[in-house]
Amino acid sequence: MVRYLCMVIAAIVCSFYFFPFLPNFFPAANTKIILAILGVIVFIYDTIKYRSAQMPSSLFVLSIFAGLFSLWNWVAITYNNTYDFTYSNYILSMWVWFAAAYFVCWCIKMVHNSCNIRLLANYMAIVCVFQCIIAMTIHYIPSIKSFVDMYLVDVGTHMDSIKRLYGIGSGLDSTGVMLSATLLIMAVYLANHIKEMSMRHILLYTISFFVIVIIGNMISRTTSVGVTISAIYLICTIGIPKLSIKYNYLRFIWVFIFLLIMSIIIGYYYYNYVPEVQDQIRFAFEGFFNWIEKGKWSTSSTTTLSEDFYRWPTDMETWVMGDGYFVDPEKPGFYKKIDMGYLRFIYYSGIVGLLFFISFLICSVYLCIYNMKSYKSLILLLILLQFIVWLKVSTDIFYIFATFICCSYFLDNTSNDEIEKVA
């Protein structure tokens, strides 16, 4: 019983990390910052306990790239005489994420005596499924909605204005990226460890996958990027293109087909006989509906994206230094009403700032691959996800890489010799 309680606490910690929010009862800091403070305390404790807890030198290289990105953003906003500090202190954000990730991995290790990708994948799946379920609950049960809105600063008001589903700290494109990353991690782990997985484990993974795909798209259609990449990866890994499906994947295929048929039947019923759900289904799968009804695949997002393609800077000064604005200085919203991530970064601190940010992320990828060579394909898929999503919106998935980096330094065996070896 105690163990299950500890697992619940670890899941809550993961949720606070992957879906941070600002509680009304403590508006001084969001959950990410609180976890970062706890991470620093735990790191100091480990340092004292094991008398050795050195951070890897590669992290200092990562800090240099983050520092250069921050410094150039300061140069850009100073040159343009603006007061938009969105990314000017990014090096601090990087270390906050890393400290919080350290605490997350420490909690998982305390519960399971280990911290690895399998456990991270499980907790991410649990947290994302919970967010999907709570989002539906908030949307359709007013009492639950009122309770959640009471303890989240201005979240409900904002999300109501754009009529989107939201959970506890989840909503819009940032949530879509998190859900996409989780789908990728689940797909890669499933594809590479199918032999070791029980039928029960396969069933739970596949059900979770479908829940995130369906409800996740209702929350944010950015989730579809992760769905697409995951599907392509699974199809290629299973061997479908070569018509040589490996025996070990047959259990997964039959479960997948069964759940797909059930999802279509349930979706058809709710779409035709439950009007309250119809709008959410149409929003989630707008592209499919437009394709069937109009013969053209299109969504409101693709329309906006096509418009953004014609709004590149027209002068060399903006290309190099940007305009110093990430958000609109006069009214709430994006600068120049641009959604595309690449353009937003360029308008903020120019192509130089964008290249610094890309360099930082590539350095993060290298560090993850160096420490977790067996998951090279997953890490490369995650950075691919980042670059694709930037075509739609500006996001940052370093927090995912931060958990991988921390995970690689938590050993199964906590003996002093091994700790020192890793350190």
Closest among 145, 160, 302, 151 to 222, alpha carbons compared? 302
Residue 405 C-beta-side C-alpha neighbours within 13 Å: 26
Which range of 1-5, 153-157, 296-300, 351-355 scores highest in mean pLDDT? It is 351-355
Number of DSSP helices (H) and strands (E) in the chain, helices first:
19, 0
Say whether pLDDT at 141 is over 80.
yes
Q: What percent of the chain has pLDDT over 70?
A: 86
Contacts 24+ apart (CB under 8 A), 352-355: 352/72, 352/320, 352/321, 353/69, 353/72, 353/73, 353/76, 353/87, 353/322
For Cα atoms 210, 341, 405, give the angle at the middle one, nearest 5 degrees. 65
Tell me the backbone φ, ψ of residue 410, rounded to 5 degrees: -105, 115
Where do the domains of the chain lie? 2-422
- CA 267/CA 214 separation, integer angstroms: 9
pLDDT over threshold 70, residue 422: no
Among 2-6, 117-121, 216-220, 409-413, which is the least confidently predicted range?
409-413
Amino acid sitting at position 322:
G
Angle between helices 90-112 and 57-79 (to 10 degrees): 150
Express each pLDDT in 69-89 by its tens digit.
999 999 999 999 998 888 999
Quick: pLDDT tens for 221-272.
889 999 999 999 988 888 776 666 777 788 888 888 999 999 999 888 888 8
- Alpha-carbon torsion, ordered 38, 108, 180, 22, to 10 deg: -30
Most confident of 190-194, 290-294, 359-363, 408-412: 359-363
- What pLDDT score was predicted for residue 328? 84
| 271 C-beta neighbours (distance < 10 Å), count | 17
At 163, the pLDDT band (50, 70, 90 cuts) reads low
Residue tagged 């989002």 (tokens)? 135
| pLDDT digit string, tens, across residues 339-352 | 888 999 999 999 99
Nearest-angstrom CA–CA distance, 385 and 374: 19
As a whole number, the mean pLDDT across the chain is: 84
Distance (Å, whole) CA 362 – CA 366: 6
Tell me the one-letter amino acid at 348: Y
- Residue 8 has a pLDDT of 92
pLDDT for 208? 93
Per-residue tokens: 354: 């964008």
Residue in the block written with tokens 């700790």 = 419
Cβ burial, residue 392 (10 Å; 0-12/13-18/19+):
buried
**What confidence category does residue 381 fall into, taking pLDDT thresholds of 50, 70 and 90?**
very high
pLDDT at 116 over 50: yes
Quick one: which H or E segment has residue 258? helix 250-273
In degrees and rounded to multiples of 5, residue 334 shows phi and psi of -80, 155
The total number of residues written for the chain in this structure: 423
Confidence bin at 7 (pLDDT 50/70/90): very high
* Separation of alpha carbons 128 and 226, rounded Å: 13
Residue pLDDT, tens place only, 11-46: 999 999 999 888 776 666 789 999 999 999 998 888
Instruction: Output the pLDDT for position 306.
Output: 65
User: In the prediction, which pLDDT does 117 show?
Assistant: 86
> What pLDDT does residue 156 have?
47
270-275 long-range Cβ contacts below 8 angstroms, 24+ apart: none
